[in-house]
């Protein structure tokens, strides 16, 4: 149906009616470029796109929609302040009243098993609900091809299963689905064909059901991805981080309050906190690292010291290190050089090492520079020049630098939020290995991640965060994906209502 | 006309220009553009209205000129901030300064010259109603416009497809662009609507409020209109409450001063501002609604990806 497509670097691929076609590739492999051209937000410089045999020029997203191409973005393009029905009305070409749109949306949401309240304001909805709005919005235009960009990365395993039910229903109606994902297991179980991109070129086209996750990964990366080596660790009985009935009120309209969180992290172990984004991960991270001060000083203890009321630098000086979720603007300042970013994060903990002149506190560039080089080497940070601007590094390399910057201090406690979010497989593997090595060396590590595979890969114990509540940690060796998935959906959590999942 | 009627009439006169200018700015801001040049556009409307009415001898020509010059003046702002993507705050301040300067220059010849008054139009029967008849149905055309604008803006924003498009642009211009909406076209029109309203409010000042030209005669009303939009959390009906409350307390404090109460006059002069802020803050204490009504891309310039 969509044939003879030449793009990026001579990309040829086709999608047949009634198939779920997976598009695989690492970050930067050219998936988004390809998809943007299909959706009309980029124009190919050469080559052609054909739909049902006719050559077409997709000059704008509007044109793409008119041609029967619908797209569900990874970062949703919804209007937060408007209602579900108003959002859908805006994307329909015809002038239909909002109430008529609401009626149609309800009809479609029922037909495809995507529950929706047309009157709800987008700003009040969970990520999963927003995704359903995007999908229903596309379906109302009766697309022949539906493109989904990493749709399951924001869903619980159960929500993802429901999504695949919907996709299979669409497939049986003869529609085509282009499915972009990093999750190889779901590609293997649900997709009919897979096209693998690397460096902007098609590497292979295969039937994913005949492949293994490992063989797909190898095709994506081009070399064998080493599995993380987790030799046995000695977990001691020393509690390094203790959260004791930690509660935090919601600071803004869209943040989640934390309620009565208890957790102990011992020296030499990795505790993983799973959960869907927006269930209190950022808030928990901020409370532990001291970006938000607790009311009671014993809410957070590091190495036995009550630090609930201490600021971030005092906590760092007790041997703790923190890596926030957002690389740009939070973990590092993009417009600053790596050495400046090094100093900004460690000026208090490495006061003596990085600053000279006694009370004058002059910046000791040589020392900082050598630490920067040391970190870059240890973490295999690929950069242009000795001390480039943080902005010039790719996401994966900047993340490796930030992780390395904290590890370089040999912290006794490391708290990291989304360690490998949006980094390529190689960098993610490097970062996970570094976390495991740190724990093996006797430090306590707390990892907050949306990526359940990552959590399962590295953790000794796994707790689940749902709507600001933290479950009892499960032993990683015995816990099943299903158990964790249910907890992620709020089933069996002592929270009362499960409002973040529907 | 009784005393109470006269007082109420002065309140209407004080509130009308605020209401019109604020409604115009509300539409502009709902599209995501912060135009701090309301004061400048108002004074342009005032001088243009005065000059054209005087030259033609017809106050209605003055009204049309006020609207036209306000819109024209705002077109300059739209060109700078939407097309050239200049900083909206700085450009708005410059527009105010420019407006005050041009109007002062143009108006030099008119200082002390008696102007043309825009006369009330009595609506038969309705204007006979005791107390409110004269107040609401024996008014000038600009007052009637303000009421039509109030309902018009409400319906436009929340009932029409174009209003939905405008709100979408103000909420998230990137998504709006992705949907194929022309962000710059919507913003040009919204800015010019705001300019036209400011011009009309200015014309009211020089054709109804006082029928003479005084330099800087808008005396900060543009700024008050701007503040009203924010405190009314971008909702037209609250702008109405704010404008009339401000007008009412302003008139009331004049009478209190005249009656010679022993209250410091500075406090009384500050009273309209205090009362308006307090009331509107109490009305908009629902934070969720305030967040929803605040245009998320307010003040941010839009440069498309390509």
One domain, residues A268 and A355: yes
One domain, residues A99 and A204: yes
Query: Rg (Cα) of chain A, in Å, rounded?
Result: 24
Instruction: Look at phi and psi of residue B264 and say left if phi exceeds 0, alpha if psi is from -120 to 50, else beta.
Output: beta
Question: Chains A, B: CB contacts under 8 A, how many?
Answer: 58
Nearest residue of chain B to residue A59 (CA atoms)? B180
One domain, residues A299 and A447: yes
Nearest residue of chain A to residue B161 (CA atoms)? A95
- ipTM of the complex as predicted: 0.84
Q: Which residues of A touch B292 (CB under 8 A)?
A: 80-81, 121, 123
Q: Which stretch of DSSP H or E encloses residue A422?
A: none
Q: Is A112 exposed, middle or buried (0-12, 13-18, 19+ CB in 10 A)?
A: middle
Return per-residue pLDDT of chain A as tens, 502 residues.
344 444 466 778 888 899 999 998 776 677 878 888 888 878 887 888 888 888 888 888 888 888 899 988 876 788 988 999 999 998 887 778 889 999 999 999 999 888 889 999 988 887 778 888 999 998 998 899 999 988 887 777 778 888 999 999 999 999 999 998 877 788 888 999 999 888 778 888 889 888 887 788 778 766 655 566 676 677 888 999 999 999 988 776 567 889 899 999 999 999 999 988 778 888 999 999 999 888 889 999 999 999 999 999 999 999 999 999 888 878 899 889 999 999 988 888 888 888 887 788 888 888 899 999 999 999 888 887 889 998 888 778 899 999 999 999 999 999 999 998 777 777 888 899 999 999 999 999 999 998 888 888 899 999 999 889 999 999 988 888 888 888 887 877 755 444 443 3
Three-class DSSP category at A182: coil
Q: Do the Cβ atoms of B168 and A79 come within 8 Å?
A: yes
Please name the residue that has the structure tokens 């041609």.
A67
Residues A24/A220, Cβ–Cβ less than 8 Å: yes
Residues A487/A481, Cβ–Cβ less than 8 Å: no
Q: ∠ at Cα A474 (A468, A478), nearest 5°?
A: 150
From residue A28, alpha-carbon distances to A25, A219, A227, A294 in Å are 8, 15, 22, 40
Identify the DSSP state of A154.
Answer: G
Number of domains in chain A: 2
Provide the token pair at A290: 């001291």
User: What DSSP assignment string belongs to A35-79?
Assistant: HHHHTTSS--SS-BEEETTEEE---SHHHHHHTTEEEE-SS----
Q: Let me know if residue A148 belongs to a domain.
A: yes
Q: What is the pLDDT of residue B177?
A: 87
Of A142, A419, A445, which Cα lies nearest the Cα of A321?
Answer: A445
- Distance of alpha carbon A126 from alpha carbon B229, whole angstroms: 31
One domain, residues A184 and A102: yes
Q: What is the pLDDT of residue A27?
A: 65
> CB contact, 8 Å: A119 with chain B?
no
Q: Do the Cβ atoms of B171 and A90 come within 8 Å?
A: no
What are A261's strand-pairing partners?
A246
Per-residue pLDDT reduced to its tens digit, B116-172:
999 999 988 888 888 788 888 989 999 999 999 999 999 999 999 999 999 999 999
One domain, residues A190 and A247: no
Length of chain B: 306
Of B193, B168, B163, B207, which Cα lies nearest the Cα of B50?
Answer: B207
Q: Do the Cβ atoms of B167 and A82 come within 8 Å?
A: yes
Q: Do the Cβ atoms of A62 and B179 come within 8 Å?
A: yes
- Distance of alpha carbon A304 from alpha carbon A234, whole angstroms: 20
Q: How far is B174 from chain A (nearest CA, A)?
A: 8
Q: Which stretch of DSSP H or E encloses residue A392?
A: none
- Distance of alpha carbon A52 from alpha carbon B260, whole angstroms: 86
Q: How far is B293 from chain A (nearest CA, A)?
A: 7
> CB contact, 8 Å: B290 with chain A?
no
- Distance of alpha carbon A177 from alpha carbon A148, whole angstroms: 8
One domain, residues A150 and A244: no
- Distance of alpha carbon A427 from alpha carbon B261, whole angstroms: 76
- Distance of alpha carbon B38 from alpha carbon B199, whole angstroms: 9
Torsions phi, psi for B281 (to 5 deg): -65, -40
- Distance of alpha carbon A463 from alpha carbon A455, whole angstroms: 10
Q: Which residues of A touch B171 (CB under 8 A)?
A: 79-82
Q: Let me know if residue A229 belongs to a domain.
A: no
> Which domain does A296 fall in, by range?
239-488
One domain, residues A418 and A370: yes
The three-state (H, E, C) secondary structure of chain B, written as one string: CCHHHHHHHHHHHHHHHHHHHHHHHHHHHHCCCCCCCHHHHHHHHHHHHHHHHHHHCCHHHHHHHHHHHHHHHHHHHHHHHHHCCCCHHHHHHHHHHHHHHHHHHHHHHHECCECCCCCCEECCCHHHCCCHHHHHHEECHHHHHHHHHHHHHHHHHHHCHHHHHHHHHHHCHHHHHHCCCCHHHHHHHHHHHHHHHHHHHHHHHHHHHCCEECCCCCCCHHHHHHHHHHHCCCCHHHHHHHHHHHHHHHHHHHHHHHHCCCCCHHHHHHHHHHHHHHHHHHHCCCHHHHHHHCCCCCCCCCCCCC
Which of A39, A59, A81 to mutate to test binding with chain B, by most B CBs within 10 Å of its CB?
Answer: A81
Q: Do the Cβ atoms of A79 and B174 come within 8 Å?
A: no
From residue B55, alpha-carbon distances to A238, B41, B48, B51, B265 in Å are 91, 21, 10, 6, 40
Q: Which residues of B touch A86 (CB under 8 A)?
A: 164, 168
CB atoms within 10 A of CB A329: 10
Yes or no: domain B3-293 corresponds to CATH 2.60.40: no
Q: How far is B226 from chain A (nearest CA, A)?
A: 22
What are A265's strand-pairing partners?
A241
> CB contact, 8 Å: B164 with chain A?
yes
Q: What is the pLDDT of residue A402?
A: 93
Three-class DSSP category at A163: helix
One domain, residues A243 and A216: no
Q: What is the pLDDT of residue A494?
A: 59
Q: Do the Cβ atoms of A82 and B178 come within 8 Å?
A: no
> CB contact, 8 Å: A284 with chain B?
no
Q: What is the pLDDT of residue A383?
A: 82
One domain, residues A306 and A436: yes
pTM for this entry: 0.75
> CB contact, 8 Å: A62 with chain B?
yes
Q: Which residues of B touch A89 (CB under 8 A)?
A: 161, 164
Provide the token pair at A366: 């040589």
Q: Which residues of B touch A77 (CB under 8 A)?
A: 172, 174-175, 178-179
One domain, residues A457 and A342: yes
Q: Do the Cβ atoms of A79 and B178 come within 8 Å?
A: no
Residue A48 belongs to domain with CATH number: 3.40.50.300
Q: ∠ at Cα A238 (A235, A240), nearest 5°?
A: 100
Contacts of B269 (CB under 8 A, 6+ apart): B253
Per-residue pLDDT reduced to its tens digit, B160-216:
999 999 999 999 998 898 888 899 999 999 999 999 999 999 999 999 999 999 999
> CB contact, 8 Å: B172 with chain A?
yes
> CB contact, 8 Å: B124 with chain A?
no
Three-class DSSP category at A399: helix
Q: Do the Cβ atoms of A89 and B174 come within 8 Å?
A: no
One domain, residues A352 and A298: yes
> CB contact, 8 Å: A45 with chain B?
no
Q: Do the Cβ atoms of A82 and B161 come within 8 Å?
A: no
Torsions phi, psi for B152 (to 5 deg): -60, -45
Identify the DSSP state of A335.
Answer: T
One domain, residues A203 and A252: no
Q: What is the pLDDT of residue A349?
A: 84
Q: What is the mean pLDDT of chain B?
A: 92
Sign of CA dihedral B217, B222, B227, B233: positive
């Amino acid at each position: 149906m969509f044939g003879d497509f030449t793009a990026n670097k001579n990309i040829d691929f086709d999608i047949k009616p009634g198939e779920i076609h997976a598009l695989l590739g690492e970050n930067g492999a050219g998936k988004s470029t390809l998809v943007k051209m299909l959706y009309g937000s980029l124009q190919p410089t050469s080559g052609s796109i054909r739909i049902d045999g006719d050559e077409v020029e997709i000059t704008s997203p509007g044109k793409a929609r008119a041609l029967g191409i619908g797209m569900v973005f990874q970062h949703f393009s919804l209007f937060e302040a408007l209602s579900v029905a108003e959002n859908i009305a805006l994307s329909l070409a015809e002038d239909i009243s909002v109430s008529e749109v609401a009626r149609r949306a309800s009809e479609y949401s029922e037909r495809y098993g995507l529950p929706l309240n047309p009157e709800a304001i987008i700003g009040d909805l969970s990520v999963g609900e927003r995704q359903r709005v995007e999908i229903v919005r596309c379906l109302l235009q009766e697309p022949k091809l539906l493109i989904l960009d990493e749709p399951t990365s924001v869903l619980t395993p159960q929500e993802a299963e429901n999504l695949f039910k919907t996709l299979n229903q669409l497939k049986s109606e003869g529609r085509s689905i282009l499915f972009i994902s990093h999750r190889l297991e779901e590609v293997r179980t649900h997709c009919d064909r897979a096209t693998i991109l690397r460096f902007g070129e098609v590497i292979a086209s295969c039937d994913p059901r005949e492949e293994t996750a490992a063989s797909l990964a190898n095709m994506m990366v081009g070399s064998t991805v080493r599995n993380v080596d987790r030799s046995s660790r000695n977990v001691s009985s020393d509690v390094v981080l203790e959260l004791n009935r930690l509660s935090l009120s919601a600071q803004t309209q869209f943040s989640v309050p934390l309620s009565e969180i208890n957790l102990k992290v011992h020296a030499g172990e990795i505790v993983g906190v799973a959960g869907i984004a927006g269930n209190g991960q950022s808030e928990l991270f901020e409370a532990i690292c001291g970006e938000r001060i607790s009311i009671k000083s014993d809410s957070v203890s590091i190495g036995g010291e009550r630090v609930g009321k201490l600021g971030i630098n005092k906590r760092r000086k007790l041997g703790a290190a923190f890596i926030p979720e957002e690389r740009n603007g939070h973990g590092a300042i993009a417009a600053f050089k790596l050495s400046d970013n090094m100093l900004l994060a460690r000026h208090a903990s490495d006061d003596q090492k990085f600053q000279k002149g006694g009370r004058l506190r002059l910046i000791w560039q040589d020392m900082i520079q050598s630490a920067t080089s040391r970190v870059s080497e240890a973490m295999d940070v690929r950069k242009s020049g000795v001390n480039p601007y943080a902005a010039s590094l790719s996401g994966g390399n900047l993340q490796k630098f930030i992780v390395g910057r904290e590890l370089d201090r040999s912290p006794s406690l490391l708290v990291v939020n989304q360690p490998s979010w949006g980094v390529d497989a190689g960098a993610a593997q490097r970062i996970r290995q570094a976390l495991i090595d740190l724990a093996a060396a006797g430090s306590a590590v707390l990892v907050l991640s949306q990526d359940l595979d990552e959590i399962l890969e590295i953790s000794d114990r796994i707790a689940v965060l749902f709507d600001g509540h933290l479950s009892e940690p499960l032993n990683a060796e015995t816990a099943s994906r299903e158990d964790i998935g249910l907890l992620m959906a709020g089933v069996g959590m002592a929270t009362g209502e499960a409002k973040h999942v529907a | 006309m009784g005393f109470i009627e006269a007082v109420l009439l002065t309140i209407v006169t004080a509130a009308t220009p605020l209401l019109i200018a604020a409604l115009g700015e509300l539409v502009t801001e709902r599209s995501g553009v912060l135009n701090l040049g309301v004061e400048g556009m108002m004074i342009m409307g005032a001088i243009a209205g005065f000059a054209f009415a005087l030259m033609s001898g017809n106050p209605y020509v003055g009204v049309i000129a006020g609207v036209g010059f306000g819109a024209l003046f705002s077109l300059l702002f739209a060109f700078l901030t939407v097309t050239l993507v200049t900083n909206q705050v700085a450009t708005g301040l410059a527009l105010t300064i420019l407006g005050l300067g041009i109007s002062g220059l143009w108006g030099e010849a008119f200082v002390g010259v008696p102007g043309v008054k825009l006369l009330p139009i009595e609506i038969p029967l309705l204007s006979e109603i005791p107390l409110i008849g004269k107040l609401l149905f024996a008014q000038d055309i600009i007052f009637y416009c303000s009421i039509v604008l109030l309902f018009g803006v409400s319906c436009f924003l929340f009932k029409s497809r174009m209003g939905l498009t405008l709100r979408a642009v103000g909420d998230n211009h990137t998504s709006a662009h992705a949907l194929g909406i022309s962000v710059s076209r919507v913003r040009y029109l919204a800015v010019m609507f705001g300019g036209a309203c400011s011009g009309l409010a200015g014309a009211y000042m020089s054709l109804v409020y006082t029928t003479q030209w005084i330099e800087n005669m808008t005396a900060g009303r543009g700024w008050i209109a701007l503040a009203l939009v924010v405190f009314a959390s971008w909702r037209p009906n609250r702008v109405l409450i704010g404008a009339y409350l401000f007008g009412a307390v302003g008139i009331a404090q004049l009478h209190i001063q005249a009656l010679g109460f022993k209250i410091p006059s500075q406090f009384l002069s500050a009273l309209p501002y205090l009362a308006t802020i307090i009331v509107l803050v109490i009305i908009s204490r629902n934070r969720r609604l305030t967040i929803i009504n605040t245009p998320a891309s307010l003040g941010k310039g839009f440069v498309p990806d390509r």
